[in-house]
Structure formats: C-alpha cells, structure tokens
Amino acid sequence: MQTPVLKIIQLSKTFSLGKNDFLALKDISIAFPKTGFVLISGKSGSGKSTLLNLIAGIHKPSEGHVFYRDKAIDAMSERHLCAYRNRELGFVFQQYNLFDKQSVLFNVILPLLIDGKGIAKAYETGEQLLKLYGMEEMAKRDVAKLSGGEKQRVAIIRAIINNPAIVLADEPTGALDRQNAERTMLFLKEISSERLVIVVSHDLELVRSYSTRHIEIKDGKVAHDSGPIC
C-alpha cells in the first residue's frame, strides 16, 4: 500500500446562512495514495465542490483536517498555502477558466509566471510540455479560436506545468460532447500515472471506466468508497 499523499480526517464544513447553519460535509475521512484516478460522484448539492475547496485550502474546515504529506493545510501560513496551491495542486474546471484573448502558450505558462519563473524559461517549459502531448501546433493560437475539447486539454496542460502532486478537476467534461469528454478522461488518466487525480463528475458511465477508485458522496457523507484504504 502506498503512503497517502493526502489525508482527510473527520472533516466537517458548516456554512452560515443567516440565522441557520447548513452542514455541507459531515465527518468525512478519506486517505488518497500518491497516484491514481479517483472519481467523486454524488447528486448536485451533495458537497463535492465543497470537498475540493477544502482540499485546495479555499475553505477552512469547521472541524477536522486536510493533511498534505502530513502537514495540516488549515495550519499553514498564507505564504505556505499559496505555495501549496501553486506548486502542489493543479485545477481543471468545467468552464476551463482560460484567458480567451491570450495565446495557448501564454495560458499554459501562467502558473510558472505566478511562481516567479523567468519568462524565457517559462516559454521554453511551456513549449516542451505542449510538444510532449502533441499540442505544439496550438501554441500560438488564441484560446478563443479553440474548440471546447481543445480548451480543456490546454487547461489540463496548464494544471500540470508545475508538476503538481495532485490535480483536482470539478466536472471537467460538463461542457463537452461525448468524444471530447472521452479524450479529456484519457488525458486525465494518462497524467494520473504520476500523480493523484481527483475528478468530480456526475457522469458515472463516462468516468467509471477510467477511474481506479470511486467515492460517492451523499448528503455530505461518504456513502460508498471502493478503496483502496491506506
């Protein structure tokens, strides 16, 4: 059994809604190994995005902890949390979150620029990574001119440019047709051989065949976990 890269221990999240509190996640514990493709499914409103936001340190837990390599992320300083988000995590969203008026290459290298890398080195790294995945011909094109499937592949390249240990994808195929959704899954599967990839999706039929583990969230709780438990 691999040592977990990410551990969620007795995690709960309460949102305050005026006078009322709403318990979005209830006492969740999950350990994730260093590599693999984990599918998180559940109905709309079950708490999937909240869970990803807690893993990303965007929300603070109401109770419990998220440990990244044995460091509690809720106890990290703002500087460490920024470094964790930028270097150890990659994000992929349903709506790609790319800069439409900029080139593919510029979008891909943004995390490197944010991290303070020199522009020449960043361009070189971006070009190499696009080439590695057979996308070098797209480098100079404006993102606005790409298809949805191409945009999502660019977003995945951007998510891995810092070689993060974890990639979080929230409904990454929600805006794609079947063929492009399958290609996106294949791409995420490919990158999961070297890192942990957590994909939130309600499209079970699509994602199940690619995932190595399936966790179902129901009303803020783990309703099913196919393992492995580490």
Q: Is 138 in the site for ligand ADP (CB under 6 A)?
A: no
Interaction pattern, residues 39-68, with Mg ion; x per rule: CB under 5 A: ----------x-------------------
Q: Is 172 in the site for ligand ADP (CB under 6 A)?
A: no
Give the C-alpha separation, 38 to 165, whole Å: 14
Instruction: Give the residue, chosen from 33, 36, 47, 64, that forms a contact with ligand ADP under the rule CB under 6 A.
Output: 47
Helices (H) and strands (E) counted in the chain, each on its own, are: 7, 10
Interior angle at CA 68, CA 168 and CA 16, nearest 5: 70
Structure tokens at 128: 């190499």
Our CB check for Mg ion shows the closer of 49 and 173 to be 49
User: Smallest gap, in angstroms, from Cβ of residue 171 to ligand ADP?
Assistant: 8
Give the C-alpha separation, 130 to 164, whole Å: 16
User: Smallest gap, in angstroms, from Cβ of residue 46 to Mg ion?
Assistant: 9
Our CB check for ligand ADP shows the closer of 89 and 112 to be 89
Our CB check for Mg ion shows the closer of 143 and 168 to be 168
User: Smallest gap, in angstroms, from Cβ of residue 188 to ligand ADP?
Assistant: 18
Q: Is 201 in the site for ligand ADP (CB under 6 A)?
A: no
E strands present in the chain = 4-17, 20-33, 36-41, 63-68, 71-72, 89-93, 166-170, 196-200, 213-218, 221-225
**C-alpha neighbours within 13 Å on the C-beta side of residue 65:** 12
Q: Is 99 in the site for ligand ADP (CB under 6 A)?
A: no
User: Smallest gap, in angstroms, from Cβ of residue 16 to ligand ADP?
Assistant: 8
Residues in contact with 32: Cβ distance below 8 Å, sequence separation at least 6, in sequence order: 4, 5, 6, 7, 8, 38, 166, 196, 198
Instruction: Give the residue, chosen from 4, 33, 36, 42, that forms a contact with ligand ADP under the rule CB under 6 A.
Output: 42
Stretch that binds ligand ADP, among 47-55, 148-156, 158-166, 203-211 (CB under 6 A): 47-55
Chain centre to alpha carbon of residue 155: 11
Residue 173, contacted partner among Mg ion, ligand ADP, none, CB below 5-8 A by kind:
none
Give the C-alpha separation, 42 to 184, whole Å: 20
Stretch 7-36 residues interacting with ligand ADP (CB under 6 A): 15, 17, 22, 24
Residue 213 CA: distances (Å) to CA of 36, 119, 180, 197: 8, 39, 22, 11
User: Smallest gap, in angstroms, from Cβ of residue 80 to ligand ADP?
Assistant: 24
Give the C-alpha separation, 171 to 160, whole Å: 17
- Give the interface with ligand ADP as residue ranges (CB under 6 A): 15, 17, 22, 24, 42, 44-50
- Give the interface with Mg ion as residue ranges (CB under 5 A): 49
